Amino acid sequence: MFVIRRESHNPILAPRRERPWESMATFNPSAVRTQEGVYLFYRAFGNPDALQTPTAGLSSIGLAFAEDGVHFHSREQVIVPMEEWDRFGCEDPRVTYFEGRWYCFYTALGGYPFGPDNIKVAVAVGDAPNKFTERHLVTPFNAKAATLFPERVNGDIVLLLTAHTDWTAEHPRATIALARARHIEEFFDPEYWRVWHEHLADHALPELHRTDRDHIEVGASPLLTEKGWLLIYSYIQNYYDGDKRIFSVEAAMLDRDDPQKLISRTESFLIPQEFYEEYGLVPHIVFPTSVTLADHGMLDIWYGAADTVCAKASVKLADLLRALDPEEPARTFIRSEENPILSPQGAGFESRAVFNPAAIELDGSIYILYRAMDQANTSTIGLAVSKDGVTIGERLPEPIYVPRADFEMKRGSPVGNSGCEDPRIVRIGDTLHMTYTAYDGVHSPSGAVTSISVEDFLARRWSAWSTPFILTPEGVDDKDLVLMPEKMGGNFMLFHRINSMICADILPDLFSGTRASRCIEIMGPRLGMWDGSKVGSAAPPIRVGNNWLMIYHGVSRHSTYRLGAALLDAAGSAVLARTADPVFEPTEKYEREGEIANVVFSCGAVVRGDTVFLYYGAADKVIGVATGSLSHILNALT
């Protein structure tokens, strides 16, 4: 698991109106870290040229410097349009300090209006970051985003570039590919590229497009790590549909000795969310253009935001490398070899499915309260007990909680879903409060609550469950009701899901008939990421010091249910950190095949020492348990 943290000073570079050459935008930064500080090369977008491009701004390349990598100053223009092949603009620099010289590869615009025939790659070369003394056209064909590997690979100089970024019938898809040479001057030779281009497929990286509707482009110059070459690149979902287009950032690991070999890759982990990413000359864009290593094992990702400003985000490099390591057995949580620990059985209340379990530890035993479904699709709550957290020592033959109130009795089809679903349980004082989804098969699902004393629960006096009350708003499809396991300022705090987001509210009492009446937004889906369709609470939050660990479920646009983690503040109302990748996802057959395919869904977790026991429903059919290190999770989140 890993967390992406945006720089608090973002945007770190913005246009300056008093300077015509960068008055409209400063974006797509290429950062080079030295002992003195960070040199930041960037695309400077100025006012239109009244003669050449009267309706479009003119791009050049600027340079700024910051000792601390945040507060940039000494801005100057270092590469300007001057050749026939870049006279209409110099865009999107990628700068590498390589074997004693500075190489700035950039997109050269040689004609207007811009199109595949006049968008190519060029390079400027110099002996100092602000003194480029020679310039060459590189590709004779349409290409962008070329960047040098910072060191040779098996004696070769390696250039990474995106060929045919602009659609034509002959080349409808962009290709990320490698070019190799013994001498840098080979990259300036048109004959080299003629031969190279004839065999483009032989130089291409393995296919990175997930669908024909998507688009890819080289982002940062690859970074050599202990696991291989780390490549941060741009992935644009639904590229050809302006209303659905999503710019995002992904990472891939390439083999150290053969970087054309793809070891692994992430899904999208950075998408436009902040105001400076959502609003600008071209809204809703994050576009990665460089990476640098910072102190304390952090990797800085530099990116353009909304084609207007420069920004930076950071990730713990070790966490990202672990997520990219195919030899890791699981994402954060490791499945028990005993899984599934509970399966449907018999001809009664749990004959069709058992899933979505709550869990609580009492007197040294873990009590697993689970949703049980019979052949008529009526849900009740069953109970199993485990001493070690994995082995089921006892499983009760009858449900411990059944539909009792009018709002959860079956009203629709005799075989339609109804009953008491997806329980969560917390202990506050000597009382256990169980929340669950109440559904009659006709009206909208609601979040209900019932309580029982610890004494009655342990004595198994199930008739002692209190009369249930609905806590969620009337007539609203509202699920995933979870209580904070402590009172907050003398009140009960509850989390519930409205539409696709996790909301919160405060209630002084659970059984007065008062319902939640507002949505204090906690977190929503991140469009284009693994949790881009819907999010909801999983287990009740776990206290960690002064803060709270929330495990939540996220649903992708492909309807896959996965689990993520977030750190909430002491009040439980602000997200301090949130994982960029899932901490658990369906991979096993019993998680991918069942009543609902590709689902892991948790309603309960128990902490013993440093071990988190995560109980989950798999494919809405069976129950599993997975364990993870609490300190590992918190280390990533803090």
Amino acid at position 413, single letter? S
| pLDDT for position 502 | 97
pLDDT for residue 327: 85
Per-residue b/e over 76-107, b at no fewer than 16 CB within 10 Å?
A: ebbbbbeeebbbbbbbbbbbbebeeebbbbbb
pLDDT-flagged residues of the chain (< 50): none
Q: Where are the domains of the chain?
A: 13-324, 334-637
Nearest to 369 by CA among 570, 147, 129, 539: 539
One-letter identity of residue 137: L
3-state DSSP assignment of residue 75: strand
Structure pTM? 0.93
Q: Which residue, 448, 463, 630, is CA-closest to 551?
A: 630
Q: Does domain 334-637 have CATH number 2.115.10.20?
A: yes
Position 72, amino acid:
F
H-only helix segments in 490-571: none
β-pair partners for 57: 48
- The H or E element that residue 319 is part of is helix 317-324
Among 3.30.70.3420, 2.40.50.100, 2.115.10.20, 2.60.40.290, name the CATH number for the domain at 13-324.
2.115.10.20
* pLDDT of the residue at 48: 78
Q: Please tell me the predicted confidence (pLDDT) of residue 470.
A: 96
Q: Check residue 55 and give its pLDDT.
A: 63
Q: How far apart are CA 47 and CA 19, in angstroms?
A: 9
Q: Mean pLDDT across the chain, nearest whole number? A: 96
